[in-house]
Amino acid sequence: MSDVMVDVHGVHKSFGPLEVLRGVDLRVRAGEVTVILGPSGSGKSTLLRTINHLEKVNRGWISIDGELIGYRRSEDRRAARRASVEGGGGRRAGKLHELKEKEVLKQRTHIGFVFQNFNLFPHLTVLENLVEAPVSALRRPRKDAEDTARRLLERVGLADKTDAYPRQLSGGQQQRVAIARALALEPKVLLFDEPTSALDPELVGEVLDVIKDLASTGTTMIVVTHEIGFAREVADTVVFMDGGVVVEQGSPAAVLDAPRHERTRAFLSKVL
Amino acid sequence: MGLSTDSAAAPPGTAAPGTDPGTPPAKNDLASLKVVPARHYARWVAAVAVIVLVAQFAHGLITNPVWEWQVFSDYVLSETIVKAVGVTLQLTAYATVLGFLLGTVLAFMRLSHSPVLQTVSWTYIWIFRSIPMIVQLVFWFNLSALYDRLGVGIPFGPVFWSVDSNSLIGTMGAALIGLSLHQAAYAAEIVRGGVIAVDHGQLEAAAALGIPKLRQIRRIVLPQAMRAILPTAGNEIIGLLKGTSVVYVMAIGELFYQVQVIYGRNGRVIPLLMVATAWYVVLTSLLSIAQYYVERRYARGANRTPPPTPVQRARRFVRDLRAAAAQRNQPVHPLKSLGADR
């Protein structure tokens, strides 16, 4: 249990009458790369967005490094006493308090998120994009944040672009900046929401290379993608989702080469 | 360019069938021909007609004695008028700042999740957009009739400190309150329009990075909203500058009031109205120029290369003219020179 970094437990999520997640369980161990595959509408992006609380869950819970996301548990003394008198155990004692936005924002600094459309701040330079969150959310000294930012830009191969504006970069370069921006907070886990889907085919490789490099240094990552080759090469665990549930999961070899489930086979035959 | 039309247009013999179809025939022959630009006769006629009308108007401006340009030049820089322009500028500046501050607060109230704040903001905008400015100004002018003392205390309870409302507010204060409150209603909608024009992904990215809420608004949302806010805000501020002329009803010594006082005394209505006109035109021109540069600043990152300012363009034009003059002696290939112009 101790090395479980991300714990998703029985998560349900509906948008109005549409039930997008129907009881998802997922466990990601520290230092592992989990790749989530599935047809569009299977709920994989929504699942990713519930992990950093961009979407609130309707049922179930999520914890990262043992910390509950979006809620705080408190012991309700009266309920605990009643439970102990009745001998019903302490499980139902206590309450879940919804966290205030300020506390949620603080939790999110531990969770890096990379968007399909990059979402860089277009009015800020590349360096300012990287420095903004560490300075304002973590209260790092600007000088330190800039040093870290330069080091990260070097790591993603964009050391010469510090003063460029995002629109002056190619899509691949923008996504690499976005990855560096997420890393600037030194998160415990990195979430990628289809990081290469908005890119021209010839730019996909440079972004995947950066993610592979991160994987080799033991960063905990959950990647939603359609790149099966990437999943085979990098993933420790491949998760196949369809219809708001996890259909099957296992090693890349098990899920991609010998899928046990008919729906997985049907999906893979279409994309491979 | 279609290949078929090429070969059809080519005179027989210049391109033998079976030669490379990729190169247009007779290319070298065309290149040596002189290019005659298209003549736009109707455009010339229209231009002459417009020039005649403009010349007639200008002639009238200069020769019609009723304009009394001597009186105009006596007053346009006189102390009274310059002071009055100062008052106009003060009213504009204060009302702009107060109006947009309150407007921004109202805009975010309207965008908040609290139904109470939303309703209050909506009601404020509804009421203050519904009352003509001049009616509102006279209301504020007569505030003391409604509340003769204003004070601080417990709501619906005892009052600890109070003051005579006339001595607290005064005429200038009443005018400023009227202008600012009126302006705030419009500013609120302008700011709200700018904020909802910002891509939703920007807010998600800021939230995902854990940037504190106020900082998100100040550093991420508002600078991007400014791109949509500025053109309409420029309109509003220029409208406000001219709108300050309405406070003449409160006998405040701004530009239009002073002009009226002077022509009431000496009867020279037309030249003094021209004095006011000239000042309003100069001031709004300055505001328009300022707007251009402020917009440019907030466009950082929106274009790969920012377009040149008029000053930069003028400099470039002069440089090009010089370069062209230096090159005039050298013969230039007509088609090549056409291509180089574009």
Domains present along chain B, CATH in parentheses: 86-152+162-255 (1.10.3720.10)
Task: Name residue B299's beta-bridge partners.
Answer: none
Helices (H) and strands (E) in chain A, counts: 10, 12
Smallest Cβ–Cβ distance between A132 and the set B211, B302, B304 belongs to B211
**What residue in B sits closest to A185 (Cα-Cα)?**
B209
Give the span between the Cα atoms of B187 and B105, in whole angstroms: 10
pLDDT, mean of residues B101-120: 96
Indicate the pLDDT class of residue A89, thresholds 50, 70 and 90.
Answer: very low
Q: Which of A236-245, B149-158, B323-332 has the lowest mean pLDDT?
A: B323-332
Judge whether B223 is closer than 8 Å to chain A, CB to CB: yes
Q: Which of A136, A173, A197 is the mutation pick for testing B, counting most B CBs within 10 A?
A: A136
Q: How far apart are CA B190 and CA B120, in angstroms?
A: 17
Q: Does A168 touch chain B (CB under 8 A)?
A: yes
Q: What is the dihedral of CA B329, B334, B336, B342, to 10 degrees?
A: 100
- Mean pLDDT throughout A130-139? 96
CB pairs under 8 A between A and B: 78
Q: Which two tokens stand for residue A220?
A: 């905990």
Angle in degrees, CA B111, A137, A54, rounded to 5: 50
Token pair 């860089």: residue:
A120
Contact assessment for residue A46 and residue A8, using Cβ atoms and an 8 Å cutoff: no
Q: Which residues of B touch A185 (CB under 8 A)?
A: 209-210
Rg over CA atoms, chain B:
31
Reported confidence tier of residue B21, pLDDT bands at 50, 70, 90: low
Judging contacts by C-beta atoms under 8 Å, the chain B residues touching residue A173 are none
Residues of B in contact with A136 (CB under 8 A): 211-212, 215, 219
Q: What pLDDT does A88 receive?
A: 46
Tell me how far apart the terminal alpha carbons of chain A are, to the nearest angstrom: 35
A126: its two tokens: 């590349």
Tokens 């009055």 found at: B84
Give chain B's mean pLDDT.
85
Residue A90, pLDDT above cutoff 50 = no
The verdict on a CB contact (< 8 Å) between B210 and A102 is no
The mean per-residue pLDDT over the stretch B277-304 comes to 90
* The predicted structure's pLDDT at residue B63: 87
Query: CA-CA distance, B166 to A178, in Å (whole number)?
Result: 58
CA distance to partner chain A, nearest, from residue B105 (Å): 20
Q: Is B209 on the interface with A (CB under 8 A)?
A: yes
pLDDT of residue A81: 66
| Residue B4: pLDDT over 60 | no
pLDDT tier for residue B164 given thresholds of 50, 70 and 90: confident
Does residue A181 sit at the B interface (CB-CB below 8 Å)? yes
| pLDDT at residue A188 tops 90 | yes
DSSP-assigned letters across all residues of B282-327: HHHHHHHHHHHHHHHHHTTTTSSSPPPPHHHHHHHHHHHHHHHHHH
Cα angle A18-A20-A25, degrees, rounded to a multiple of 5: 150
Above 50 in pLDDT, residue A1? no
Whether residue A52 lies within 8 A of chain B, CB to CB, comes out as: yes
Is the predicted pLDDT of residue B25 greater than 60, yes or no?
Answer: no
Query: pLDDT-based confidence at B16, cuts 50/70/90?
Result: very low
d(CA B222, CA B209): 18
CB contact under 8 A, A133 and B210: yes
Residue B253 confidence (pLDDT) above 50: yes
pLDDT surpassing 80 at residue B24: no
Q: What is the pTM of this model?
A: 0.79
Contact A37/A251 with Cβ under 8 angstroms? no
- The token pair at A110 is 């531990």
Q: Which ranges of A114-200 does DSSP label H, i.e. alpha helix?
A: 126-136, 142-155, 171-183
Task: State whether residue B198 sits within 8 Å of chain A by CB.
Answer: no
Which has more pLDDT, A91 or A208?
A208
* Nearest chain B CA: its distance from A123 CA (Å): 5
Whole-number Å distance between alpha carbons of A153 and A133: 15
Structure tokens at B182: 């009126």
What gap in Å lies between CA A196 and CA A202, rounded to an integer?
A: 11
Residue B196 pLDDT class (50, 70, 90 cuts): very high
